[in-house]
Amino acid sequence: MPETTLPTVGVVVLTQGTRPDDLARGIRSIQSQRDVDLDIVVVGNGWQPTGLTEGVRALGLAENLGIPAGRNRGAAEVRGDYIFFLDDDASIPDAGFLADCIALVSAEPDIGLIQPRLDDPTGIASPRRWIPRIRKGDPRQPSNVFSCLEAAVFLPRPVFDAAGGWADEFFYAHEGIELAWRVWDQGKRAWYAGELEANHPVVQPTRHAEYYRLNARNRVWLARRNLPLPLVPLYVGSWTGIQVLRWWRNPVVLKAWFAGWREGWRANPGTRRPLRWRTVVRMTRAGRPPVI
């Protein structure tokens, strides 16, 4: 019988070294994956990973470059037909997860990105924001999506490369929207696979000290980098209105948010690659025009 060649998956695990038990759990969940050949690197953002198990390489970065840039540095170090990104506080409970992702994109080759359903491993109810669509519905129901939660993301490697990777400049927040948009711009779809599961603890995004500033700055940068010019003010304007309605009773939050908003217009957002108008039409027909 001829030897069967397994599909290869490059895996990037991002960490700052502050959650060693979670990191070890996530690595074990990856190494337990069956029917795939793995190339795993652990990226230490401002930390040199140590004590890793056999078969896992370390890439220590001298300083914290931010979440998307850290992932990109790891992506440059791994090989494979596919690439999978996992945060250090996430894990995969099913040993067939990666093989299932490969089977899904093989059966439907226009799927260019998969985000699984995220569940807290302790049984705490998952927040609705973990379902990246407007009409949340059943978290187990799959659908097209136009953003992704970055804790666990799977892509064919050529799709990731053509997208230009993650947005280095963002540091934190909204890089999953840009990546999904750039997948759609390749004529493919970002897909929420509600039947596939990843584990992640329920945490508040506001735990990050600069959450509000970066949230606002990156909303502006997202538009400036990715949207056709007529849509830039529509997108930024819609999100500005949403934030005012959401936080008008909390002037401290609004002050921080508008500081980031102003920074988004004043600072250089990086390379501009606007979506094609036919992509805007496809996204609109699929359920979400890129102005909301």
Give the pLDDT confidence of 183-210 residue by residue, as tens digits.
999 999 999 999 999 999 998 765 555 8
Among candidate residues 280, 169, 282, the one with its CA nearest the CA of residue 232: 280
Residue 201's pLDDT is 93
Q: How confident is the model at residue 2 (pLDDT cuts 50, 70, 90)?
A: low
pLDDT digits 0-9 by tens, 26-52: 999 999 999 999 999 999 999 999 999
pLDDT at 203: 80
Q: Is residue 95 over pLDDT 80?
A: yes
List the chain domain ranges. 9-203, 207-286
Render 164-178 in DSSP notation, one character per residue. Answer: TSS-GGGSSSSHHHH
- pLDDT at position 1 is 44
Q: What is the mean pLDDT of the chain?
A: 95
The DSSP secondary-structure symbol of 288 reads: -
In the structure, what pLDDT confidence band is assigned to residue 68 with cuts at 50, 70 and 90?
very high
The whole-number average pLDDT for the span 232-237 is: 97
Residue 153 has pLDDT above 70, yes or no: yes
Which residues, in sequence order, are CB contacts of 114 under 8 Å at separation 6+?
101, 104, 105, 153, 154, 155, 191, 193, 196
Query: In terms of DSSP bridges, do strands 56-60 and 8-15 run parallel, antiparallel, or are they unpaired?
Result: unpaired
- Which residue carries 């970066």 as its tokens? 214
- % of the chain with per-residue pLDDT over 70: 97
pLDDT band at 291 (very low <50, low <70, confident <90, very high): confident
- C-alpha 19/C-alpha 169 separation (Å) is 25
Segment 217-226, tens digit of pLDDT: 999 999 999 9
Is the Cβ–Cβ distance between 34 and 95 less than 8 Å? yes
Architecture of domain 9-203: Alpha-Beta Complex (3.90)
Of the candidates 6, 23, 5, 3, the residue with the CA atom closest to the CA atom of residue 14 = 23
Q: What is the pTM of this model?
A: 0.95
Nearest Cα to Cα of residue 224 among 264, 257, 186, 261: 264
Residue 40 in 3-state DSSP?
A: strand
Residue count (the chain): 292
DSSP 45: T
| pLDDT on residue 116 | 98
Cα gap 163→220, rounded to integer Å: 19
Report pLDDT digits (tens) over 257-270.
Answer: 999 999 999 999 99
DSSP string, 195-236: EEEEE-----GGGSTTHHHHHHHHHHHHHHHHS-GGGHHHHH
Cα-based distances in Å from 134 to 177, 237, 266:
14, 18, 30
Task: Write the CB contacts of 244 (distance below 8 Å, at least 6 apart in sequence).
Answer: 254
Higher pLDDT pick, 9 / 124: 9
